[in-house]
Amino acid sequence: MSEQTLIQKYFSRHNAVCENIEVSVGDDAAIVCPSSKKKLVVTTDTLNVGIHFYPDCKPEYIGHKSLAVNLSDIAAMGAKPLWATLSLSLPDINHDWLKMFSNGFYALADQYNLKLIGGDMVKGPLSVTIQIIGSIEANQELLRSNCEIDDLLYVTGYLGDAAFGLKLLQNNNHVDVHSNDKEYFLNRLNLPNPRLDIANNINSYAHAAIDISDGFIIDLQRMLTASNKGAEISLDKIPISTSMKKIIKNEDDMKELLTGGEDYELIFSISENDKNKLEAYSENEKIMLTEVGKIVKGSQISLTNNGIHTDIPQFKGFDHF
């Protein structure tokens, strides 16, 4: 079966012409029509077998996650996703794999009205590269460099669950985990939820943001470095899931939640003047947000636990190199 036939069979669900797409999947390139009143936001991520997922990972999980990690970057900018391109390297043609992968991809894409408009398929080691193009109103982008002194720092969701899910896959844990909790941890690893829900509703007043892909500490430090600021973080305020609370035993376990990565939650900063507005929104929409610290002068992270200074973990998070 030819490359073009495979593309038409599995990746042409969004090829209909619509309001902002003139030419989609099936030609040499797509033609889109961005709004003249908005800025475009572009991001790209690659997931490789053996690095980002195991060879036996369910194809629908790979389809979902490869798109989710890109959507998380779009959320961290406060943007809305519009279009995606997909480059897929396959060692061979497996129709069951392609069907499940595309189902996982499209199920998430359709949640956000994101359209696949093109890409490429090649023979080679299993690898997925996705580019997303989104849009944003002028002056509403959430840049890493925009933290201000005395800003409050918030995180979405819970930290550490996905990293523990990876430990379970690697058989690298030494505690008994109930089957329901195990399923929860593995779903947090395999099916991350990009936080477009909150990002698209705070981008008019939040100052800076970054998504937590490599670990809370390392990603927060990246935001602080870009802003030339420091931060004070309260370890005792870090949000912990019900399943994780059964596992946490001591302060070192708490610190490990800050270093694992794969959370795809957001860290963002706001003025204290907007605290009530944010928390009212969180309560009304039932979106979990937790205040974990504040921006201060300096360039480093200071960590306390119940008001007592404690050391930053030596391992700060994942880095490809």
* φ and ψ at residue 238, rounded to 5 degrees: -60, 130
Which amino acid makes up residue 26?
G
Q: 124-150, pLDDT tens digit by residue?
A: 999 999 999 999 998 899 999 999 999
Contact between 149 and 295 under an 8 Å Cβ cutoff? The reply is: yes
Contacts with 93 (C-beta within 8 Å, 6 or more apart), sequence order: 1, 6
pTM of this structure: 0.91
Q: What is the pLDDT of residues 252-286, one digit of tens each?
A: 999 999 998 899 999 999 999 999 999 999 999 99
Query: Which helix (DSSP H) or strand (DSSP E) does residue 234 occupy?
Result: strand 230-234
Task: Express the helix, strand and coil content of the chain in percent, nearest 5 each.
Answer: 35, 30, 35
Residue 125, CA atoms < 13 Å, CB-side half-sphere: 9
3-state secondary structure of 73: helix
Q: Which residue has the tokens 């580019």?
A: 131
Q: Residue 205's CB: how many other CB atoms inside 10 A?
A: 13
d(C-alpha 215, C-alpha 204), whole Å: 26
Residue 214 has pLDDT above 60, yes or no: yes
Task: Report DSSP letters for 86-119, one per residue.
Answer: EEEEESS--HHHHHHHHHHHHHHHHHTT-EEEEE
Q: Distance between CA atoms of 288 and 139, rounded to whole angstroms?
A: 26
In this predicted structure, the answer to whether residue 79 has a pLDDT above a threshold of 90 is: yes
Which tokens in the block code for residue 184? 């929860």
- The pLDDT of residue 158 is 97
State the CB neighbour count (10 A cutoff) for residue 191.
15
Listed by start position, the domains of the chain span 3-137, 144-310
**Which pLDDT does position 26 carry in this prediction?**
66
DSSP 8-state assignment for residue 27: B
C-beta of residue 211 within 8 angstroms of C-beta of residue 186: no
Report the interhelical angle of 179-190 vs 59-76 (nearest 10°).
60
Q: What is the pLDDT of residue 310?
A: 96
Is 10's pLDDT higher than 90? no
Listed in sequence order, the residues at least 6 apart from 75 whose beta carbon sits closer than 8 Å to its beta carbon are: 194, 195, 196, 198, 199, 200, 211, 266
pLDDT (tens digit, 9 = 90+) per residue, 303-314? 999 999 999 987
The residues with which 18 forms a beta bridge, in sequence order, are: 21
> If you average pLDDT over residues 234-238, what whole number do you get?
97
Is 3-137 CATH 3.90.1150.10? no
| Contact by Cβ (8 Å): 44, 70 | yes
Amino acid at position 9, single letter: K
pLDDT at 177 over 70: yes
Q: In a 3-state reduction of DSSP, which class is residue 294?
A: strand
Domain 144-310 fold: Phosphoribosyl-aminoimidazole Synthetase; Chain A, domain 2 (3.90.650)
**186 near 168, Cβ under 8 Å?**
yes
pLDDT digits (tens, 9 = 90+) for 182-207: 999 999 999 999 999 999 899 999 99
Q: What are phi and psi of 118, to 5 degrees?
A: 165, -175
Quickly tell me which residue has 């069951």 as its tokens.
96
